[in-house]
Amino acid sequence: MINEKLQEECGVLGIWNVGDFDTAETFYLGMYGIQHRGQQSAGIAVVNGKKMFYRKELGLITEVFSESEINNLKGCKAGLGHVGYNIESDNIRENAQPFIFKYYKSYAAISYNGCITNANRLRSEYLENAYMFQTTSDAEIIATMLTKEVAKGSSLEKALDRVIKRITGSYSFLVMTPEKMIAVRDPYGMKPLCLGILGASYVVSTESSGLDTIGAKFIRDVKPGEIITIDDNGLKSHLCDSYEKTAMCIFEFVYLARSDSIIDGAGVYKARFESGKILAREYPVDADLVMGVPDSGLPAALGYSDESGIRYAEGLIKNRYIGRTFIQPSQSLRELSVGLKLNPIRDQIEGKRIILVDDSIVRGTTSKKIVQMMKEIGGAKEVHMRISSPPVKFSCYYGIDTPDKAMLMANRMTRDEMCDSLGADTLAFISLDGLLKTPVGAKCSFCSACFDGCYPIKTEEDE
Amino acid sequence: MINEKLQEECGVLGIWNVGDFDTAETFYLGMYGIQHRGQQSAGIAVVNGKKMFYRKELGLITEVFSESEINNLKGCKAGLGHVGYNIESDNIRENAQPFIFKYYKSYAAISYNGCITNANRLRSEYLENAYMFQTTSDAEIIATMLTKEVAKGSSLEKALDRVIKRITGSYSFLVMTPEKMIAVRDPYGMKPLCLGILGASYVVSTESSGLDTIGAKFIRDVKPGEIITIDDNGLKSHLCDSYEKTAMCIFEFVYLARSDSIIDGAGVYKARFESGKILAREYPVDADLVMGVPDSGLPAALGYSDESGIRYAEGLIKNRYIGRTFIQPSQSLRELSVGLKLNPIRDQIEGKRIILVDDSIVRGTTSKKIVQMMKEIGGAKEVHMRISSPPVKFSCYYGIDTPDKAMLMANRMTRDEMCDSLGADTLAFISLDGLLKTPVGAKCSFCSACFDGCYPIKTEEDE
Amino acid sequence: MINEKLQEECGVLGIWNVGDFDTAETFYLGMYGIQHRGQQSAGIAVVNGKKMFYRKELGLITEVFSESEINNLKGCKAGLGHVGYNIESDNIRENAQPFIFKYYKSYAAISYNGCITNANRLRSEYLENAYMFQTTSDAEIIATMLTKEVAKGSSLEKALDRVIKRITGSYSFLVMTPEKMIAVRDPYGMKPLCLGILGASYVVSTESSGLDTIGAKFIRDVKPGEIITIDDNGLKSHLCDSYEKTAMCIFEFVYLARSDSIIDGAGVYKARFESGKILAREYPVDADLVMGVPDSGLPAALGYSDESGIRYAEGLIKNRYIGRTFIQPSQSLRELSVGLKLNPIRDQIEGKRIILVDDSIVRGTTSKKIVQMMKEIGGAKEVHMRISSPPVKFSCYYGIDTPDKAMLMANRMTRDEMCDSLGADTLAFISLDGLLKTPVGAKCSFCSACFDGCYPIKTEEDE
Amino acid sequence: MINEKLQEECGVLGIWNVGDFDTAETFYLGMYGIQHRGQQSAGIAVVNGKKMFYRKELGLITEVFSESEINNLKGCKAGLGHVGYNIESDNIRENAQPFIFKYYKSYAAISYNGCITNANRLRSEYLENAYMFQTTSDAEIIATMLTKEVAKGSSLEKALDRVIKRITGSYSFLVMTPEKMIAVRDPYGMKPLCLGILGASYVVSTESSGLDTIGAKFIRDVKPGEIITIDDNGLKSHLCDSYEKTAMCIFEFVYLARSDSIIDGAGVYKARFESGKILAREYPVDADLVMGVPDSGLPAALGYSDESGIRYAEGLIKNRYIGRTFIQPSQSLRELSVGLKLNPIRDQIEGKRIILVDDSIVRGTTSKKIVQMMKEIGGAKEVHMRISSPPVKFSCYYGIDTPDKAMLMANRMTRDEMCDSLGADTLAFISLDGLLKTPVGAKCSFCSACFDGCYPIKTEEDE
């Protein structure tokens, strides 16, 4: 089934365990806190003394790791995890992370999340300079660059300083050797990364949900451009590079992050709730009920209800078991199966004027089905679509899987055309200004390129 | 992981296809509409001419059926499906349904949901009368009885009449032969079963969600004690046995059924919402927010909010990926991993007096963790538990998996003791009278034995 | 790939362990001694106290049993195993044995090898008498009959006496309850079955290779019509039924049995060697070398060489890894791939006049390819085919998988036509009289129906 | 189970297909012709236009490739295959070949068989020079070196010339790009590699059995030090490096190669037969029968029989189903299970004086069991072991998996001690001079380091 949502590509998790935890089991559990960021591959690498053990494979965490495989990783003092989603359809097995390599002095593993925008140029440069590549992942580029710097005599941290000065893009990644773990966040702070503590262990995770899952206490976000080194002597940090204006991906707050996460000082759930309130002020409409498209539209729907005073109700039930299935129903069946993923509760909807809140419209195909379902099966009198993000008109070059620009509904149609096409009675999107106010308390500025085309970092196409 | 909820055991689905649908594919999709009723085994049997094909195996539908296996079942005119949950831990593979058997005249398949309360006596009687059993499922008892009646010259329907007079308990089941499909619902109407139509095909499903999933139109509930025969000449029905006072399982409305289902004239979602409203009237409390324990506590929480005027908010995020995992964390980890399945959103909760609505308390272990989490991690000032069903004090003998009576928290403790044990500030349960009013418009009376110990049907223990 | 050989259907193994062996592990190993008799399903049932545990599945022993599954069966005092090959292509999973059933007094498991010739009549009779069937295996018929007799008050042994008087056909089977194990061989002694001892344990196996594998000492063959009961008091035996003229399947000596087995007093290897000697006397030919088609043609080739004085040589290498593969090569490839399973050694063959010995010709397709390969790739000057069994002209109704009569090469053609069709220079088959002399020392007479159409036991077709 | 034989590590296969063959299917079949050289991993890479597709995984060919996976590789013009056996137990998944990499100009795949003796030094050198390694395979070293040379402007062939001058060791490998396929054999000709033709396609295979399997016609061996380039213009070749005295691994003739292969002009089967003849002349003994240990001891046994005039007979049956099983029987069972893999045929052996021919003795544990089995179970009067290779006293550094020197029986004991330890009546090994005469017609000289310790190529230990 084509995924109708913009899609995050990866999540990372690292634990440097100076106590006597059972790293592998803690790890396994912790990874459930980032599983929502990537469902195509999963991997864990651990160090034990001078040795590194790992397992990575295509699939969900539950599929990749059996109890005995976790046991095989036991007794280890530190670990690195990765969940991935991969745009490339071919040979993605080789791209599964952590990326493991032997370099001059030792072994290392990298768990990487993001998109290096000058990857092709760097790759070409290294190819011309007699290097080969075995995968198509950015992690291999970073490993290659690191290897080269370290061979010149640099420490790993110094090497990373130089690497970071040469790569542009949005990223956060972890490097683990038998001696230390290093966490890096891009200078624009586009990708989230945060630090926590569990007993005497440091934990680093893409989202704070990765900490919560294992009961680790959130300490702080890793700063844009910061390089944190954790070893048996504790934690050291320095800023490698920084910009006045950071550019955290605003879509993390719209849809990508788990709603219980806190990113750069702002609660994700609160931002989503807030977006509903702003929508209600910007685009009020007279109606009987406010409903959300589960699961991601619910917080904004509650906010809309709160602000407008119109009663919130649940009207669509999500099937929790569809998951990854081979179903590509024949056309005749597709028409019938509109209710496979979502099913309307008729006695909540019938005869009602409904404000239906969703987080975003990408291709528009799902939204169209939902409106049709609300009216034909649910018996809604009116359906007023309210979207808690502005129209998505531009592709992302920073690691979020967006369809071709030509496939984006908002790129092909005016709002009125979209409204007609969806069969809704009215349609409105939150303003970009409004959206940017939603991460209340955020200590960062934002990238909103998918809405306004203002790309904060040059892409190779630009050059 | 021990399941903390009462657990439904099975769901059934049948399609008699007089048109030219692709039965197997429609089936596959339809089964997602009943998957929530059983996640341990799945099976489909189809008839094509005089032959019957089937596949049944342990696992979820997505795991049991690959595309090629569905294709192998293609081109067939009728089908029977089953999802199962099985109390018996040994050799449950043999209990996977549909149960297939050859009898005097033909082949038949049975998909069965429920619990025959005089099963042991019947089984002994047949064993004494020179019959053997290859499984421990009730379906085999029914098949054995049917076979015997048919061999005496009865039609399948007449045979079923006699069988139904001899078995007591709560059940609904489907029998399929190459010539017809028969749907049976127990005379007390304890288990749900409903009838729909899809094009020129009749569809029978445990819940109306099984119809909705494939776009079939709901016609009506099968009546308690009704036997419906569907063949190429259409549909015939007769009442086999009936009682003035039916006894639909009230727990279907509390938790078991999917909330978009309509059972015996009453909407499940509406009933859950209503229970919240009644709770609010019966047990009001001054507080800042109403929250529900996801997913099953949400409708009642919304009802409570609606009635009390106290604002509804989301405060717990459910991890969608935990699913079936081998995790049995060590004690030290268990303490830490309180947030593995649910995680509180601190900025929704902190400093607030919260009314937390859940559908039921069984063992109490999960509720205790949740209250603790709300306070320690979420920072709630007060937690007032409101439960949308009365205290569960008695075991079910009618096919719902309940722990031993001794394990039921409400059987061991008074309400005050429970409140203390959970660490909540107050604790209240809806009254049984209140609960029985929630299935608004229901054309049936209810079994509430798990709450009051009034068992409408004798069990073998009684005798 | 179509199997070009007549195919045995099953093998059984039983251990009654009065000592303190680890039954499950011993069992697992023992089953490798009968694996050659069935590669489609494998199963083991064990008793431990009053309980019975089992696992049966489609596949080879190595595939069906992992170490942990064998461990799950540990600590048990007796066990029953089965390997199966199943003609029925549909739903063969349900036919996997041991067949497990609960009857009046207890539980029982049956491992069965053979073919009941009046199965259809018995099945009909039971269907008419109000019994149902869940599988298509003969084991279920026997279990049904046993159950009925036992319910009348018979002991299991008495019940078996009556069952055996009612079934005709070729069979050997084992019945295990928590109290005892019973071994039965058909009154004609068509199927082999033998008894051994391992420490203080009795072992029963279809072939003596099943004993040798675990170091059990061969005691004697089970006699035709004998019923042996083994329990904690030791071994008892009685003859249930017997015939003056037994009818051991001669094809066990030609191809089916493992060549290291000893059946009814005659060594299988020796019989095969002897058949080569007789062939050499009956059909001598002037040539340079004698070669055998591996693996089953080798002993007869050695015998032919020994008798004729013509040097024995190896000329065809068998690929040990082809096994069960999905290969159904396109026609063009099929022509090329003649050497996939067998490859000629050119410098052994080139320019030589070769006597090529094989055990049988069924469809003739493989033989044709081999002759072609010997000449075209190997460069043989002449190829003289010598077959160590008479022409197979009739189907077997006693449990050996034979193609339709119309597919049997010897049924469609004269010997000269066959020789032409195969492209051989000469072709000769051992005489039936000759073959019947090969099981030197055998204490039985033989069934040779596949060669001469003289069926010792009436089949349902006859009636 | 510990493998008691010296073990080959890999096999390679390549097809450059200028016609319109179905490369992937042909490939799949062809790989069965080299499967005996490696059973731990299998892989195929194909090129189609500018793209490269591949699949590689742990397991046998049948396990790694399903029909659909072969279909996914269809429509391709050239392919490269590999079967592997890997000494390293950790993370061998990453070492599965073909090794795929992107270099300056294009993509390439390498299938490699052998052992670079200066690998550690080269690896260190590259690590010092800022390269990293992701696997522990020699293929990655070669790819790294190639990449570097090509980046300097060399053609692939020129680059290979330089690579070959820097690596020492025994190897043969194939490099495939979308434009061409290159076959390389080490200058000492230690590893076999041969060239064939199939229609208009060139085929390269480690052994001629890989050609025969798909009906390709053998053209010639690749010469030591030769580099053959195949592209759409046909075949070009040049000698890169050569030595007067080549050093083909004599153990290929003793055990490693499939007996139907022809290597460097000598037939493997013939060599094994010849070794038996020479043994008979060197170490005659008065006896009744000559037997071989299946399968690898049979040709030499036939040769011994031929030369000595003592009758050849089969006395040990090999179980074809043991294969890869988890069995590690407890000690008590191990004693019993002596017959699991091999079983003696008592009536062939009993009371006889037997000359038992095997190809080699490594640890001696299996030989000891076999002698014991021949005597105790088979009833042999005398057992005279004759080994068709000299005592293995030295480890191989050229890619054959040998146990530690200390584990080699012939390194720890004199011949008399060995004979005593095995429980044989006499024991004799072919002389090295004798063995070196067995590859009749061979156009090469041989490496016999495992017998005499004369290592033709320096190893890193030497330095």
Q: In the prediction, which pLDDT does A355 show?
A: 98
Q: How confident is the model at residue A2 (pLDDT cuts 50, 70, 90)?
A: very low
Contact by Cβ (8 Å): D282, D430: yes
Q: For residues C117 and C201, state if they share a domain.
A: yes
* From A16-25, A66-75, C257-266, the region with the lowest mean pLDDT: A16-25
Question: Whole-angstrom Cα distance, residue B398 to residue C301?
Answer: 70
Q: Do C213 and D339 touch (CB under 8 A)?
A: yes
Cα–Cα distance list, D200 to C155, C373, D233, D234 (Å)? 74, 22, 12, 10
Using the 3D structure, point to which of D214, D246, D278 is the last residue of a domain: D246
Asked whether residue A75 is assigned to any structural domain, the reply reads yes
Q: Which residue of C has its CA nearest to D66?
A: C326
Q: How far is C331 from chain D (nearest CA, A)?
A: 12
Q: In the prediction, which pLDDT does C40 show?
A: 87
Q: In the prediction, which pLDDT does C200 show?
A: 84
Using the 3D structure, point to which of C186, C211, C246 is the last residue of a domain: C246
Q: For residues B283 and B405, state if they share a domain.
A: yes
pLDDT tens profile C158-171: 999 999 999 999 99
Cα–Cα distance list, A308 to A254, A284, A312, B108, B273 (Å)? 20, 7, 10, 58, 22
Q: For residues B173 and B276, state if they share a domain.
A: no
Interval D343-364 mean pLDDT: 95
Of B299, B325, B340, the CB nearest to A314: B299
Structure tokens of C11?
């093998």
Structure tokens of A25?
């089991």
Interval D42-65 mean pLDDT: 87
Q: Which residues contact C244 (CB under 8 A, 6 or more apart)?
A: none
Task: Name the pairing type of β-strands B446-447 and B248-249.
Answer: parallel
Interval D182-202 mean pLDDT: 94
Cis peptide before C391 (omega within 30 of 0): no
pLDDT tens profile B196-235: 998 889 999 999 999 998 889 999 999 999 999 999 899 9
Cis peptide before D20 (omega within 30 of 0): no
Q: How far is D156 from chain C (nearest CA, A)?
A: 33
Which subunits count as partners of chain A given 3+ CB pairs below 8 Å?
B, D
Of B102, B127, B151, the CB nearest to C133: B102
Domain count, chain C: 2
Asked whether residue A413 is assigned to any structural domain, the reply reads yes
Residue C270 with chain D: CB contacts under 8 Å: 345, 347-348
Q: In the prediction, which pLDDT does B23 show?
A: 67
Q: How far is A131 from chain D (nearest CA, A)?
A: 6
Q: How confident is the model at residue C214 (pLDDT cuts 50, 70, 90)?
A: confident
Q: Which residue of D has its CA nearest to A143?
A: D132
**Which bin fits A453, alpha (ψ -120 to 50), beta or left (φ > 0)?**
left
Q: For residues B57 and B176, state if they share a domain.
A: yes
Kindly report the pTM of this predicted structure.
0.91
Asked whether residue B402 is assigned to any structural domain, the reply reads yes
Interval B43-60 mean pLDDT: 87
Q: Do A133 and D91 touch (CB under 8 A)?
A: no
Q: Do B329 and A25 touch (CB under 8 A)?
A: yes
Q: Which residue of A has its CA nearest to D143?
A: A132
Higher pLDDT pick, C98 / C403:
C98
Q: How confident is the model at residue D3 (pLDDT cuts 50, 70, 90)?
A: very low
pLDDT at D451 over 90: yes
Q: In chain D, pLDDT over 70 holds for what percent of residues?
A: 90
pLDDT tens profile B92-126: 688 899 999 999 889 999 999 999 999 999 999 99
Q: How confident is the model at residue B399 (pLDDT cuts 50, 70, 90)?
A: confident
Q: For residues D328 and D226, state if they share a domain.
A: no
pLDDT tens profile B408-432: 999 999 999 999 999 999 999 999 9
CATH code of the domain in which D50 resides: 3.60.20.10
Q: In the prediction, which pLDDT does D306 show?
A: 96
Q: How far is A144 from chain D (nearest CA, A)?
A: 7
Q: How confident is the model at residue C1 (pLDDT cuts 50, 70, 90)?
A: very low
Of C91, C128, C151, the CB nearest to B129: C151
pLDDT tens profile D6-47: 666 799 999 998 665 566 778 888 899 999 998 889 999 988
Mean pLDDT of chain D: 89
Mean pLDDT of chain B: 89
Of C128, C143, C150, the CB nearest to B151: C128
Cis peptide before D295 (omega within 30 of 0): yes
Under 8 Å CB pairs connecting chains A and D tally to 64
Q: How confident is the model at residue D85 (pLDDT cuts 50, 70, 90)?
A: confident
Interval D280-302 mean pLDDT: 96
ipTM for this model: 0.90
pLDDT tens profile A247-263: 999 999 999 999 999 99
Q: In the prediction, which pLDDT does D73 show?
A: 77
Q: For residues B242 and B304, state if they share a domain.
A: no
Q: For residues D196 and D313, state if they share a domain.
A: no
pLDDT tens profile B164-187: 999 999 999 999 999 999 999 999
Q: Do A215 and B336 touch (CB under 8 A)?
A: yes
Higher pLDDT pick, A64 / B352:
B352
Place of tokens 């075995």: A134
Q: For residues B241 and B192, state if they share a domain.
A: yes
pLDDT tens profile C322-333: 765 555 545 445
Asked whether residue A242 is assigned to any structural domain, the reply reads yes
Interval D207-215 mean pLDDT: 91
Q: Which residue of B has its CA nearest to A258?
A: B317
Residue A313 with chain B: CB contacts under 8 Å: 302
Q: In chain D, pLDDT over 90 holds for what percent of residues?
A: 68
Q: How far is C245 from chain B (nearest CA, A)?
A: 35
Q: How confident is the model at residue B50 (pLDDT cuts 50, 70, 90)?
A: confident
Q: In the prediction, which pLDDT does B267 show?
A: 96
SS (H, E, C) chain C: CCCCCCECCEEEEEEEECCCCCHHHHHHHHHCCCHHHCCCEEEEEEEECCEEEEEEEECCHHHHCCHHHHHHCCCCCEEEEEEECCCCCCCHHHHCCCEEEECCCCEEEEEEEEEECCHHHHHHHHHHCCCCECCCCHHHHHHHHHHHHHHCCCCHHHHHHHHHHHCCEEEEEEEECCCEEEEEECCCCCCCCEEEEECCEEEEECCHHHHHCCCCEEEEECCCCEEEEEECCEEEEEECCCCCCCCEECHHHHHHCCCCCEECCEEHHHHHHHHHHHHHHHCCCCCCEEEECCCCCHHHHHHHHHHHCCCECCCEEECCCCCCCCCCCCHHHHHHHHHCCEEECHHHHCCCEEEEEECCCCCCHHHHHHHHHHHHCCCCCEEEEEECCCCCCCCCCCCCECCCHHHCHHHHCCHHHHHHHHCCCEEEECCHHHHHCCCCCCCCCEECHHHHCCCCCCCCCCC
Interval D363-388 mean pLDDT: 94
Interval C41-47 mean pLDDT: 91
Q: Which residue of A has its CA nearest to B38?
A: A321
Q: Do A312 and B312 touch (CB under 8 A)?
A: yes
Which subunits count as partners of chain C given 3+ CB pairs below 8 Å?
B, D
pLDDT tens profile A397-426: 898 878 888 889 999 999 999 999 999 999
Q: For residues D112 and D235, state if they share a domain.
A: yes
Chain D residues near any Cβ of chain A (below 8 Å): 53-54, 90-91, 94, 99-104, 127-134, 143-144, 147-148, 150-152
> Which of C34, C61, C343 should one mutate to test binding to chain D, selecting the residue with the greatest count of D CBs within 10 A?
C343
Q: In the prediction, which pLDDT does B218 show?
A: 95
Q: Do B338 and A215 touch (CB under 8 A)?
A: yes
Contact by Cβ (8 Å): B276, B300: yes
Which subunits count as partners of chain D given 3+ CB pairs below 8 Å?
A, C
Asked whether residue A197 is assigned to any structural domain, the reply reads yes
Q: How far is D40 from chain A (nearest CA, A)?
A: 18
Q: In the prediction, which pLDDT does B18 show?
A: 60
Q: Which residues contact B342 (CB under 8 A, 6 or more apart)?
A: B293, B294, B316, B317, B318, B319, B370, B373
Q: Is B454 a catalytic residue?
A: no
Q: For residues A143 and A194, state if they share a domain.
A: yes
Phi, psi of C291 (to 5 degrees): -130, 155
Task: Name the pairing type of β-strands B426-429 and B382-387.
Answer: parallel
Q: Which residue of C has its CA nearest to B98?
A: C134
SS (H, E, C) chain B: CCCCCCECCEEEEEEEECCCCCHHHHHHHHHCCCHHHCCCEEEEEEEECCEEEEEEEECCHHHHCCHHHHHHCCCCCEEEEEEECCCCCCCHHHHCCCEEEECCCCEEEEEEEEEECCHHHHHHHHHHCCCCECCCCHHHHHHHHHHHHHHCCCCHHHHHHHHHHHCCEEEEEEEECCCCEEEEECCCCCCCCEEEEECCEEEEECCCHHHHCCCCEEEEECCCCEEEEEECCEEEEEECCCCCCCCEECHHHHHHCCCCCEECCEEHHHHHHHHHHHHHHHCCCCCCEEEECCCCCHHHHHHHHHHHCCCECCCEEECCCCCCCCCCCCHHHHHHHHHCCEEECHHHHCCCEEEEEECCCCCCHHHHHHHHHHHHCCCCCEEEEEECCCCCCCCCCCCCECCCHHHCHHHHCCHHHHHHHHCCCEEEECCHHHHHCCCCCCCCCEECHHHHCCCCCCCCCCC
Q: Do A152 and D131 touch (CB under 8 A)?
A: no
Q: How confident is the model at residue B375 (pLDDT cuts 50, 70, 90)?
A: very high
Cis peptide before A295 (omega within 30 of 0): yes
Mean pLDDT of chain A: 89
Question: Whole-angstrom Cα distance, residue C342 to residue C315?
Answer: 10
Of B128, B147, B152, the CB nearest to C151: B128
Q: For residues D215 and D273, state if they share a domain.
A: no
Range of the domain at B303: 267-319+327-443
Question: Whole-angstrom Cα distance, residue C95 to residue B126?
Answer: 24
Q: Do A132 and D100 touch (CB under 8 A)?
A: no
Asked whether residue A304 is assigned to any structural domain, the reply reads yes
Q: Do C336 and D198 touch (CB under 8 A)?
A: yes
Higher pLDDT pick, D195 / D463:
D195
Contact by Cβ (8 Å): C424, C285: no
Q: Do A134 and D91 touch (CB under 8 A)?
A: no
Q: In the prediction, which pLDDT does B94 show?
A: 82
> Which of D37, D213, D312, D332 should one mutate to test binding to chain C, selecting the residue with the greatest count of C CBs within 10 A?
D213
pLDDT tens profile A272-310: 999 999 999 999 999 999 999 998 899 999 999 999 999
Give catalytic residues of C, as residue numbers.
10
Q: How far is B94 from chain A (nearest CA, A)?
A: 24
Asked whether residue B259 is assigned to any structural domain, the reply reads no
CATH code of the domain in which C339 resides: 3.40.50.2020
pLDDT at B338 over 70: no
> Which of C95, C125, C132 should one mutate to test binding to chain B, selecting the residue with the greatest count of B CBs within 10 A?
C132
Q: Do D132 and A101 touch (CB under 8 A)?
A: yes
> Which of C25, C29, C268, C291 should one mutate to test binding to chain D, selecting the residue with the greatest count of D CBs within 10 A?
C29
Asked whether residue A28 is assigned to any structural domain, the reply reads yes
Of D54, D99, D151, the CB nearest to A91: D54
Q: Which residue of A has its CA nearest to D89?
A: A53
Q: In the prediction, which pLDDT does D332 show?
A: 46
pLDDT at C54 over 50: yes
pLDDT at A335 over 70: no
Residue D147 with chain A: CB contacts under 8 Å: 130-132
Q: Which residue of C has its CA nearest to D211?
A: C339
Q: Which residue of D has its CA nearest to C324?
A: D62
Under 8 Å CB pairs connecting chains A and B tally to 157
pLDDT at B5 over 80: no
Q: How confident is the model at residue B2 (pLDDT cuts 50, 70, 90)?
A: very low
Q: In the prediction, which pLDDT does D1 show?
A: 33
Nearest alpha-carbon partner for C191 in C173, C211, C204, C174: C173
* From C5-19, C92-106, D108-122, the region with the lowest mean pLDDT: C5-19
Q: For residues D59 and D111, state if they share a domain.
A: yes
Interval D321-345 mean pLDDT: 62
Q: In chain A, pLDDT over 70 holds for what percent of residues?
A: 90
Structure tokens of D152?
């300097």
Interval D339-348 mean pLDDT: 86
> Which of A52, A131, A146 should one mutate to test binding to chain D, selecting the residue with the greatest count of D CBs within 10 A?
A131
Interval B335-357 mean pLDDT: 84
Q: Do A129 and D151 touch (CB under 8 A)?
A: yes
pLDDT at C192 over 90: yes
